[in-house]
Amino acid sequence: MQTKKTLHFSTMQVKDLLHQKIVKHYDEVKTWFNKKNQDLTFPFYSSFDLRDSSIKISPVDANLFPAGFNNICEVDRENAIPICKDYLQVHFPNIQNIILLAEEHTKNPFYWDNIYSLKTLLEKSGNFSVFVCVPGKNIRKNTVLMTARGYSIEVFLLKHKINQTQLIISNNDFSVDYHLNLSIPITPPISAGWNMRRKHSFFKEYNILATEFADLINIEPELLTIKTKRFTEFQSNDPKCLKRLKEEVDLFLSELEIVYKSTLYKKGGQKPFIFLKNNAGTYGLGMTTINSSTDIESWNYKIKKKMKATKGGGTVTELIIQEGIDSDLKQEGVVAEPVIYFIGAHLAGGFLRTHKEKGTRDNLNSPGAVYRTLCVSDLEIEVEGKPMENVYGWIAYLGVLASAKELQSLNSKDTEK
């Protein structure tokens, strides 16, 4: 019978504890991850937003169509080239031409910096011709767009290049269902888009893996897991729905209170709070912070509108009620959160998202965010001297495993139809 793992907090942050445990159990950790990788197919890329509250570290979002490659440090971008090359050679050998499918709802020059960085990465990874394309719903003709760094990108309609290529790499998250009927491979698959995917599925897989990992390195699983519950049939203007939501939030907070009063949390002094999030969305839309269920009673028109809208003009119909994690990580005195990038199952980069106008419980993925350097590749080099990169890298590894298992489940359901 295993004994209960108990942590006694002093001045040690969980990040430091996890670093010590991972270094101590490094061989077991590597073996465990390699075993978990077997029989899983990983999408071309993914990214994970992490939160570090000093007493808990966990992903709070998983993106299978990540933007932000322009924010990755130069070292990581160079190290990503052979990773990208290996992925394409293994999964898509003998290709010559690639479509990089972009979003078309935005002319944000920083997004197009991301596309320029991705296009450059792909071109350096092999002797490929890379065409930047859009589905053609909002952008109706071939055009040239400028990036924030002053580069120009020629953007084609998908239909003009589809017959010239052997692979599509999508940076379009399919919040809009374009009803694409494709005869060539696409990665990540359309089934990973927000027209089909739901956040609660990822967090279910992640919590299972995080619990196993915690047992492996002999820590409390609550240091890594993030309590998440699905809320269906949401309507922001329906009083009956909001009453039902209030009841669910009350129950959720009372369950968190029990955990937070345990030995694990009581020395941390935190009070639980909740993030309500769109169960199928991105860009920080359809999200708000809840400290008490009475917050829902005081929702004004602006908040109700925020909780209704999605990217592409859709409507929020499902939420997740999620344990809030404070972001106690600071960079030059400003609140920060790590964002970690993968190509396939390999670390490909990262950065710190900071926001001088936001607090520890706010959503940092909002206008005004500033991105600071966090290089995470090649962690086996001097890992003892890199606790932040080491810990955030391995927590993100749990995330990429969870994403692969989530996709496996989505593909199984799609096959059954």
Q: Confirm whether 138 is domain-assigned.
A: yes
Element (H, E) at 146: strand 143-146
* Domain-ending residue, one of 128, 162, 192: 192
CATH assignment of the domain containing 137: 3.40.50.11280
Regarding whether 209 and 159 lie in a shared domain, the answer is no
Residue 206: domain span: 14-67+198-408
Token readout for 255 is 């369950």
Interior angle at CA 260, CA 357 and CA 228, nearest 5: 70
Regarding whether 209 and 334 lie in a shared domain, the answer is yes
Q: Confirm whether 83 is domain-assigned.
A: yes
**CA gap 322, 51 in Å, rounded:** 13
For residue 321, the Cα-to-chain-centroid distance in whole angstroms is 17
* Domain-ending residue, one of 163, 192, 221: 192
Token readout for 243 is 């009453």
Regarding whether 315 and 299 lie in a shared domain, the answer is yes
Regarding whether 289 and 170 lie in a shared domain, the answer is no
**CA gap 255, 333 in Å, rounded:** 33
Strands (DSSP E) along 314-366, which ranges? 319-323, 330-331, 334-343, 346-354
Which pLDDT score is estimated for 381?
Answer: 53
Which pLDDT score is estimated for 263?
Answer: 57
Regarding whether 167 and 81 lie in a shared domain, the answer is yes
Which pLDDT score is estimated for 2?
Answer: 37
Which pLDDT score is estimated for 221?
Answer: 93
Regarding whether 177 and 204 lie in a shared domain, the answer is no
Which pLDDT score is estimated for 385?
Answer: 67
Q: Confirm whether 157 is domain-assigned.
A: yes
For residue 154, the Cα-to-chain-centroid distance in whole angstroms is 28
Digit-coded pLDDT (tens) for 155-186: 999 999 999 999 999 999 998 888 898 999 99
Asked if residues 396 and 48 have their Cβ atoms less than 8 Å apart, the reply is yes
- Half-sphere exposure of residue 230, counting CA atoms within 13 Å on the CB side? 13
Regarding whether 373 and 286 lie in a shared domain, the answer is yes
Which pLDDT score is estimated for 415?
Answer: 41
Which pLDDT score is estimated for 3?
Answer: 39
Q: Which amino acid is at 188?
A: P
Regarding whether 221 and 309 lie in a shared domain, the answer is yes
Radius of gyration of the chain (CA): 21
* Domain-ending residue, one of 161, 192, 223: 192
Q: Confirm whether 8 is domain-assigned.
A: no
Number of domains in the chain: 2
Extract the residue ranges of the chain whose pLDDT is less than 50: 1-11, 415-417
Q: Confirm whether 46 is domain-assigned.
A: yes
- What are the phi and psi torsion angles at 393 (to 5°)? -60, -45
Regarding whether 50 and 143 lie in a shared domain, the answer is no
Q: Confirm whether 7 is domain-assigned.
A: no
Regarding whether 399 and 303 lie in a shared domain, the answer is yes
Regarding whether 390 and 331 lie in a shared domain, the answer is yes
Asked if residues 40 and 344 have their Cβ atoms less than 8 Å apart, the reply is no
Q: Confirm whether 61 is domain-assigned.
A: yes
Q: Confirm whether 328 is domain-assigned.
A: yes
Regarding whether 214 and 310 lie in a shared domain, the answer is yes
Asked if residues 173 and 150 have their Cβ atoms less than 8 Å apart, the reply is no
In this prediction the pTM is 0.92
